[in-house]
Each structure stands twice: as structure tokens, then as C-alpha cells.
Amino acid sequence: MAETTQKPRADAVENRRRLVTAAGRALRSGGVDFSMRSVAKDAGVGIATAYRHFPSKTALLEQVFAAQVSACSAMLDRAASDPDPGNAIRDVIACFADMQVEQPGLLRSLLTATGRDAPFVALRAQHSAALAMIVARAEAAGAIRSGTTVHDVRVGLMAMTAFAGDHDGPDRPPVLTLRDLLLRALNP
């Protein structure tokens, strides 16, 4: 007997979307220290509905992070295949900064989540390896300062996460200033 796949009800799809949106807001405002109950309340659904869609907070985080991780993967793939190593590292740094400005707190939450159950552990390891290759290729080609390591670049990127969302006035976001400082520091 052939199995049939039933299309989810429209209200279930909408509830799931509202939960993911509410969790994204919670992440941007306070990081991963939110409760499923507060997300359910913000989404306008009951806690049982929240757990029916996402059996754990980790499952909900994975859904929120999915788009961000996909964007990071695509950006790193483009940079790794760029024939110009200098352009590749500049694009990675610029894209990372743009993500920090557009979605403050999301990358910080993803990068600071630890443990075996942390979202996207395997992909984060692949991203780390790709960044190491991009930095090594740029350093070997003389596109960045001699002796620059992936650790040096990673420290600069992590500094950006500390200032993500720290912008409420007419001045330029600090993340963009840090991006420019890092790029200038890497110049050969």
C-alpha cells in the first residue's frame, strides 16, 4: 500500500512560521537564553503547540539558524572558489560584517552555542576549515600581511560579534568600523 503525504494545515504552517519569527526576535534581543514558553507567548500560540512543532529548544534554534548557516556556507563556497585569494578573504570579512549588521545577535548565538547538541556542529567545523583554507591561500599569495593566521582573522570576526546590535544612533555601526580596521590590518 502506497503511503500518502498529507499537506500540513495552513494554520499549522502559520504557527510554525510565527514560532520561528518569535525565536529570531528573542535571539536578536537576548541571545539563546530564552524560554520556549516566552517564544510561544510572543508567537501567540500555546506551549503545547510550540513543542508539537519543535520538540526541543535546540530544534527551534536549528530552524532559526538554518538560513544564516546556509548563507554562510554559500559565502564560504564562493570565496573558496574565487581565483583571487585577496578578493576571497575581503569578501568573507565584508559578508560576515554585513550579517552582523543585518541580524545582530544571531551569529553570536550560533558561535557561542556549545556541546554535542549545539546546532550545526558539523557545518561549523566545515566553515572553520574553509576559513582556514581561505586565509592560508591569501597569506601564501601575499594578498594579506605575511604571518597572518586564521586565528588572527577569527579574533577580528569575533570582535564584530561583540558589537553586533550596538547601534542605535545616526553614527555608523561599530561592526563596520571593525570590518574596515581588520581589512586595513591585513593589508600586506
Q: What is the pLDDT of residue 71?
A: 80
CATH code for residues 64-186: 1.10.357.10
**CB-CB contact of 110 with 65 (8 Å):** yes
**Half-sphere exposure (CA, 13 Å, Cβ side) for 153?**
29
Q: Where in the chain is the domain with CATH 1.10.10?
A: 9-55
Phi then psi dihedrals of residue 19, to 5 deg: -65, -45
- Is domain 9-55 classified as CATH 1.10.540? no
Report the distance separating Cα 38 and Cα 23, nearest Å: 9
CB 136 within 8 A of CB 147: no
Calculate helix-pair angle for 174-186, 150-163, nearest 10 degrees. Answer: 170
pTM score: 0.72
- Written as tens digits, the pLDDT of the chain (188 aa) is 555 667 778 888 899 999 999 988 887 777 677 899 999 999 999 999 999 999 998 888 888 877 777 888 889 999 999 999 999 999 999 998 988 877 766 666 666 655 555 556 677 788 889 999 999 999 999 999 999 999 999 999 888 887 766 666 667 788 899 999 999 999 99
The reported pLDDT for the residue numbered 48 is 94
**CA end-to-end span of the chain:** 67
Q: Where in the chain do CATH 1.10.357.10 domains reside?
A: 64-186
Please give the backbone phi and psi of residue 46, each rounded to the nearest 5 degrees, phi first: -80, 160
